[in-house]
Structure 1
Amino acid sequence: MKPIVPRPQSGAILLVVALLLATMAALAFSMNRATGADALSVQDEYEARAAGYLADAAVANARWASQVGGCTSASIPLTALGTGTFSAAVVKAPSKRLNITATGTVNGDTIRTRSVNESNVFDFSKTETKDLGGNVIDTWIDNGAGTVLQSYWQSKIYADSTDIALMSDRYYGLLYWATTDVKNDAQVLSANLILTQNGTGAVTRQVAVQRMMTPWDQKASWTSPTDKTYWTGTDWGNLAFDTVGVGSGSTYTWDVTGLVEGWHKGRLANYGMLLRLVTPNQSVSFYSRDAAAKNRPILRVTSAKAC
């Protein structure tokens, strides 16, 4: 099984993609109309689609311009694109969200309108970066595979260890941060897990970060997530949010933007993350929260406040 999958994108990236796709689609339809008119008439359906794409581009353009311009909420003037035009009227609602009415026109007579009310926008010109290092909970669990006293290792608790030890198919790391330091109305733009390796390695070891799906605490062991509950068998996701090769260096960074954004927006329950080695017969160790301050795990989150 390969745990590497495309990462969920942040709202900021999605907005850029939406703008580009809408504009490209509008341009494609407009250019088709412009170059093919002499040879073949273009059906009304295609002109209607082109006008709709132009209106979509205007909505995305209005949101993007407001966010990169410091919450300007400026309207988009009439703009030519191929054989069409688009524009958008923008009004700031009492909630400070945007009401956008966009129009796309092709050949002056095919018109489509898009209306978006109470659109959330964020101030990308004033971002904030915080290290959520102080409130981390971490440990590692051991399934005792290949040992004589397997049940002993499975019940052992490592929460006070200065390391987070990983061993292929045996040791798994657990980390948890609350996201309360990120304002409720903010947009998470990026989130990076930063770990410092304890030791070094002659080979590169692929370390995956996966989503935890069961609550756990510092008394977690292989047999139970807390001293009063048991693991269910579906306790972490099968797919990785990021996988990084750990070699002879000191500090390593995993992109966990999609995971943290999901926690912050409430789309995903925040039970932390799991670390595991992808390749058999390998091991690696990182410093835990009980190590010296300079080596402790960090979750670095960059966010933009709502307009």
Structure 2
Amino acid sequence: MRFLRTESGGYVLVVVLVVLALLSALAMRTASRSASGVHSVGLQHDDRALDLALEGGVARARWLLARSACENHALGDTRLSGLALTTRFAPTDGSPVAVRVVASGAGGLSRARELRLPAYSGDPQRLTLQPGPASARDAEISSSRDDDNHGLSTRAEVKNGRRMLIGFDLANLPADVLVRAARLTLYKNSGSGDISVHRLLNAWTQGSGDGEETGDGVTWNSRDGSRAWTVPGGDFHSESVAGFSVQNSDAEVTVDITELVSGWHDGRFANHGLILVGRNVTFMTADGPAVTRPRLEIDFSCECGVSCVPPPLPACVSDYSPDSNPWSIDLGGFGLVELRGLAALPAGHRFNASVAPAEGAWLALNRHGRLVMLADDGSVMTECNVSRGGDEPQGLTLIQSGLYAGRLAVAYDALGDDRLEMLDAACQTQASLPLNVDGVTGVAYIGKTASGSHEGRLAVATSGSTRHVRVYTQNAEPRVDLDVSGLVGDLQGLAHLQGSDRLLLADAISGAGAVVIDVVNGDGGSAANSYPIAALGVDAPRAVAVGLTSCEHAFGSPADNRLRALANSASVVAGATPGDSSCTGEAADEFEPMSYANQRGTVPWSGDWQEYADFGSFLLGAIRITLDGGALALSIENGASAPGILRQVDLSDYTSAVLSVRYRRERMKGPVAVTLEVSANGGTSWTQLHGFSGPDEDADYQLLNIDISAYIGTSTAIRFATTSDMHIQDRLFIDAVSIAASGCAGG
């Protein structure tokens, strides 16, 4: 494997240095103009230099708090060309931190900014995304077959006239974290050449085609089968976020895309995925084998003192009777016979140098100690051997939290006392714990329960003249002994139904099936439900597990050496909110950080803010981003040629929209100085919504809400336009702009 890293780790520091260099240049220019007698212009540039210094100081403080590992927050004073910058932190440990930045210039001028910023832990966590066909987004687009969709193709070619699009859902990345690193791994099918990675600028749909016209997905001409790209071949940023070379000898390539993922996460730009452009390389897609699907690994840090974890696993409805067999895996096809244990692995879990994909994975163990990691499509990801002489393995489970978190517990039916062995990700024994029982047939980790009873403990099954379920601590200290002889004829495995107080037991008596039992506050067990499973292809099961996110009941079927999943439509209670969340969205901008390209909310702006009749810069001119009351805001002043600023958004997926603006007037003298306008056609024609006028000014920011549903379209635009009645000292600050959209178009 080759790892190619773009130099992105110092991005924030580079921004700081650029800002400091700019303010130094402005300070020198100010001094020059003041010496020439252009006093008013000099004062204006003093203001700009101080504003830039503050922005640089804040960026420098953010950079430190991302790297100080929750302690010793401190920065030395900085002097550049007559400007002094001081930064103070209180407290100097932990988070959040009150930061005060002061910029001082010649003649006693100064600016101060106070704000609270988070500090981040130095111990990163990792989220691994390797989605399969059910949830992945990738596709090839081809100029020679410009209306064909390749959403379900197993390979994607990148060369002249062919490109690959990839999208990753970051929903499982906690909201308030710092992205420290992000690595994209691609698996090669064939070829060699140079590839560049670009940020996509518009939404697209994968589609259901395998090289034919389907009308439902992305093509060279269309982003979803009906709406055209602005430019055929995909709308993407011309500047690449990474570049790499693929050699003939490479099986896979990993490239650093930290800044891209960080920008998706913090809202600097919308997450429409990425596009690969280049020559003569064919990559595997998410519709190919599980081990060769595109993979994204994200290292992130939580705020100091905050435990940020991925969303919890769903709860399972534990007493359902299966009505379907959604999938099965032929274990005999790769020689895995006489199954004795089965365990579910969550997405991102590492085992024997392999990583479980987004749908998770399965571990299957036979009586000879062969332990195999399987993707849900049946492909073998890795394997190891855990045989122990004459002691037969009789079940395994993943311990998700507690003393042995991340370890596998394997139960052995030994010549003497049976035992549990705790194995690490390399299949090495870390602890061996005697159970003081005989005839062990299975083990299950008990996760989240409805009552809180037994959470983090281990349930062990035994079978002989009597059948028992025993609950142990992770140190193998017994807590509960349940005689289930009256419920199960031949107990050969068990699993916990997460979120409930119930266990699923596998009965190996032919035709008997499975039993769900209640474990009520540790006092006893009773049958909650039982169901025959032979009709669904499983008879006399010898192992059982429950899918961590699907809640499917998975059984080992010895009659045909298959792993079978059983389910029904009520098997998951995921805590979903009723209604279609795709029917609401928001496009927003708060001008923080200092940029015209910020993306906030779930609906992306179609491009940056565009000035006209002005400098075209967020730093200089009558329209610019500046500080107001300690926060960044859009400042609109009088200009020689009636300047303005506008931005566009595609609202065609919605039926209603409300525009909200937070504003503050300063020294406005009389008639309308600035108008707020809307266009349904990208600016061909405009309608005035509101006029900002005097004689008045605002001590605090005011909120303006206007219904713009009548202007919804693919090219809805808003603009702030100055008028000929704007006086030299009139000023309007815009602190935040948002468009809240709702209602699904077409239904």
If the length of structure 2 is used for normalisation, what is the TM-score? Answer: 0.31
- For residue 156 of structure 2, what is the amino acid of its counterpart? I
| 1:115, distance to aligned residue in structure 2 (A) | 0.9
**Deviates further, 234-243 or 20-29:** 20-29
Instruction: Provide Cα deviations, 1:131-166, integer angstroms capped at 9, x if missing partner.
Output: 311456255346583xxxx69x926x56152x2234
Equivalent residue for 2:283? 286
Q: 1:198 to 1:115 in 2, by over 3 A?
A: same
* RMSD of aligned Cα (Å): 4.4
Q: 1:111 to 1:63 in 2, by over 3 A?
A: farther
| 1:302, distance to aligned residue in structure 2 (A) | 2.8
Equivalent residue for 1:159? 152
| 1:230, distance to aligned residue in structure 2 (A) | 1.9
Take 2:24 and 2:229, find their aligned partners in 1: how far apart are those partners? Answer: 47
Consecutive unaligned residues in structure 1, runs of 5 or more: 1-6
Equivalent residue for 2:12? 15
Q: 1:114 to 1:298 in 2, by over 3 A?
A: same
Quick check: which has more Rg, 1 or 2? 2
Q: 1:284 to 1:112 in 2, by over 3 A?
A: same
More helix by share: 1
SS of residue matched to 1:239: coil
Equivalent residue for 2:225? 230
- For residue 187 of structure 1, what is the amino acid of its counterpart? L
| 1:180, distance to aligned residue in structure 2 (A) | 1.8
| 1:258, distance to aligned residue in structure 2 (A) | 4.2
| 1:24, distance to aligned residue in structure 2 (A) | 4.6
Equivalent residue for 1:64? 63
Instruction: Provide Cα deviations, 1:1-29, integer angstroms capped at 9, x if missing partner.
Output: xxxxxx9x97x745312432455567778
Take 1:114 and 1:275, find their aligned partners in 2: how far apart are those partners? Answer: 44
Decide which of 303, 316, 326 is 1:306's aligned counterpart: 303
Instruction: Say whether the 8 Å CA contact 1:58–1:76 is kept in structure 2.
Output: no
Equivalent residue for 1:3? none
Aligned: 1:112 with 2:107: no
If the length of structure 1 is used for normalisation, what is the TM-score? Answer: 0.66
Q: 1:70 to 1:199 in 2, by over 3 A?
A: same
Take 1:112 and 1:90, find their aligned partners in 2: how far apart are those partners? Answer: 19
Instruction: Provide Cα deviations, 1:208-267, integer angstroms capped at 9, x if missing partner.
Output: 54516233135156643449x624221731435334333314122344344433432345
Instruction: Provide Cα deviations, 1:107-151, integer angstroms capped at 9, x if missing partner.
Output: 7x62513213233x3426233343311456255346583xxxx69
Give matches, 1:49-198, under 5 Å: 58-72=57-71, 74=73, 76=75, 85-91=84-90, 96-105=95-104, 110-119=108-117, 121-123=118-120, 125-134=122-131, 137-141=136-140, 143=142, 145=144, 154=148, 157=150, 159=152, 161=154, 163-169=155-161, 171-198=162-189
Instruction: Say whether the 8 Å CA contact 1:56–1:114 is kept in structure 2.
Output: no
SS of residue matched to 2:17: helix
SS of residue matched to 2:114: strand
Take 2:52 and 2:165, find their aligned partners in 1: how far apart are those partners? Answer: 45
Take 2:142 and 2:55, find their aligned partners in 1: how far apart are those partners? Answer: 53
Take 2:20 and 2:303, find their aligned partners in 1: how far apart are those partners? Answer: 26
Decide which of 237, 240, 258 is 1:239's aligned counterpart: 237
Take 1:276 and 1:294, find their aligned partners in 2: how far apart are those partners? Answer: 23
Aligned: 1:219 with 2:205: no
| 1:185, distance to aligned residue in structure 2 (A) | 0.8
Aligned: 1:248 with 2:240: no
Which structure would you say has the larger RCO, counting Cα contacts within 8 Å and 6 or more residues apart? 1
Equivalent residue for 2:592? none
- For residue 159 of structure 1, what is the amino acid of its counterpart? L
Take 1:127 and 1:116, find their aligned partners in 2: how far apart are those partners? Answer: 28
Take 2:138 and 2:188, find their aligned partners in 1: how far apart are those partners? Answer: 15
Take 2:138 and 2:81, find their aligned partners in 1: how far apart are those partners? Answer: 58
SS of residue matched to 1:261: helix
Aligned: 1:296 with 2:293: yes
| 1:286, distance to aligned residue in structure 2 (A) | 1.3
